Each structure stands twice: as C-alpha cells, then as structure tokens.
Structure 1
C-alpha cells in the first residue's frame, strides 16, 4: 500500500508530524458501524505502532495501517486537503473513498 499526499495535504500534516512525537495511520474506523464491512477510512495521529500495524511508504510521509483492512483499499492511494472546506479526501485512480476524511488527533484518539 502506498499513499501520495498532495502538496496541500502535506502542508497541513507536516506541522503535526515534524517533531517526531506522532505517526500517521490510515485507520479503517469501524466504531459505531457494527461491522468491519461498514468501516470508513480516517487518518489518525498515534504515538506508536501497535502489534497489528504495518508501516508503509508514502510520499512524503510514511504511515501505518492494519494489513487485515488492506483488502478495502487499492494499492495506490492519494490524500488531498481542501483549505476552503477544511477537509481531507481519499482517492485512487479508480474511485473516491471519501471527501470528508477525518483527522483524529492524538488527544481525541483512544486506540
């Protein structure tokens, strides 16, 4: 799995990652969904990887993800940020996963 972050997404995320205290994770969020098939993608800032996480290369940021959720995503993904709507989006060449990709901060994450 690989994620290319647009210049606007990289600019928005860089200040959150630059001191090295947080890592970026592509989360398949199933909280409140009742089923893993109904999960939605989210970006999450975490302090460290869990035993379930795998690190992947991204451009310009590496990121974590859980391999068991890899089946829900294409191998090449793109994250963009729209300053006008203050929102991230997740796409591939074939589809749009979401135009409202949540960013879960360290303070609001409980994973």
Structure 2
C-alpha cells in the first residue's frame, strides 16, 4: 500500500508530525459500525505502532496501517486537503473513498 499526500495535505499534516513524537496511521474505523465491512477510513495520530500495524512508505510521509484491512483499499491512494472545507479526502485513480476523511488527534492517554 502506498499513499501520496498532496502538497496541501502535507502542509496541513507536517506541523503535527515534524517533532517526531506522532506517527500517521490509516485507520479502517469500525467503531459503531457493527461490521468490519461497514468501516470508514480515517487518519489517526499515534505515538507508536501496535503489534497489528505495518509501516508503509508514503510520499512524503510513511504511515501505519493494519494489513487485515488492506483488502478494502487499492494499492495506490492519494490524500488531499481542501482548506475551503477544512477537510481531507481519500481517493484512488478509480474511486473516491471519502471527501470527509477524519483526522483523529493523539488520544489524551498517549500524551
């Protein structure tokens, strides 16, 4: 899996990642969905990888993801940020996954 972050998305994420204390994770969020098939993508800031996470190369940021959820996404993805709507989007060449990609901040227990 590979994610290209547009210049706009990279500019929005860089301040959150620059000190090296947070990592970026592509999360397949199933909270409240009832089924993994109904999950939605989200970006999450985490301190460290879990045993379930795999690190992937991204441009310009590496990111974490859970390989068991890889089946829901195409191998080449793009994250963009729209300043007018203050929202991220996740796309591939073939589809738009979401135009409201949520950014989950570091959890208070992780600070």
Which band: TM-score by shorter chain? over 0.9
Give per-residue Cα distances to partners, 1:23-71, cap 9 Å, x unaligned.
Answer: 0000000000000000000000000000000000000000000000000
Shift of 1:108: 6.2
Identify the residue that residue 48 of structure 2 maps to in structure 1.
48
Task: Give structure 1 regions of 4+ aligned residues with deviation exceeding 6 angstroms.
Answer: none
Instruction: Name the residue aligned to 1:10.
Output: 10
Report the CA distance shift for 1:106/1:84 in structure 2 as closer, same or farther (over 3 A). same
TM-score under structure 2 normalisation?
A: 0.97
Structure 1: gaps of 5 or more residues = none
User: Which has the higher mean CA deviation after the structures are superposed, 54-63 or 99-108?
Assistant: 99-108
**SS of residue in 2 equivalent to 1:50:** coil
Q: Please tell me the root mean square deviation across aligned C-alpha atoms, in Å.
A: 1.3
| Matched length | 110
